[in-house]
């Protein structure tokens, strides 16, 4: 039973992250469409609102809920899950999952603002925001795979360096876009 739960959990974690990655990309497009002249702006904004609605409520939210249900089921209703709850790496992982929930809720707030034609963020901010889910994904995958072999100091340094590399890549990409 545990392996089935784990498989379902992983499937919905993957679709949840896919939704988070793509929704923020759609936010970028929606923000940039708002800067286009009429009637292009209205046509694009209408289409992006439909696309973000479908992605958010048909894929991303259901995936988040189902990934969570299967995770809780594994952790609280199986012997292996109960044993994992005693391990320090699982506490750290659950901390990152909590941050992922916060990220998801912030994306929901941004989604609602954009659906109401409130553009509070730049497309460059959204490109950078999109990397938040990537950092969380890296942290969780390394924690789950390495478990007790994970060296906390190197892990923290690695996530910090990975974040710096992402920032530098973002700045480099921004310069390339501005030259065009």
Q: Which residues are annotated as a binding site for heme?
A: 9, 93
Q: Which of 134, 136, 129 is nearest to 94 (CA)?
A: 136
**In whole angstroms, what is the distance from residue 140 CA to residue 84 CA?**
15
Burial (CB count <10 Å: 0-12, 13-18, 19+), residue 94:
middle
Q: List the binding residues.
A: 9, 93
Distance in angstroms (rounded) separating the CA atoms of residues 111 and 57: 11
């Amino acid at each position: 039973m545990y392996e089935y739960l784990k498989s379902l959990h992983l499937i919905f974690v993957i679709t949840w992250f896919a939704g988070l990655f793509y929704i923020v990309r759609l936010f970028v497009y929606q923000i940039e469409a708002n800067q286009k002249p009429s009637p292009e702006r209205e046509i694009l904004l209408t289409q992006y609102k439909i696309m973000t609605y479908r992605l958010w409520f048909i894929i991303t939210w259901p995936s988040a809920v189902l990934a969570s249900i299967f995770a809780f089921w594994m952790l609280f209703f199986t012997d292996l899950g109960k044993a994992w709850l005693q391990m320090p790496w699982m506490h750290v992982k659950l901390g990152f999952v909590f941050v992922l929930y916060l990220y998801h809720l912030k994306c929901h707030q941004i989604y609602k603002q954009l659906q109401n034609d409130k553009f509070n963020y730049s497309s460059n901010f959204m490109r950078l925001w999109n990397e938040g889910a990537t950092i969380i994904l890296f942290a969780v995958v390394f924690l789950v795979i390495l478990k007790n072999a994970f060296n906390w100091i190197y892990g923290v340094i690695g996530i910090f360096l990975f974040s710096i590399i992402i920032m530098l890549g973002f700045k480099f990409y921004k310069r390339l876009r501005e030259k065009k």
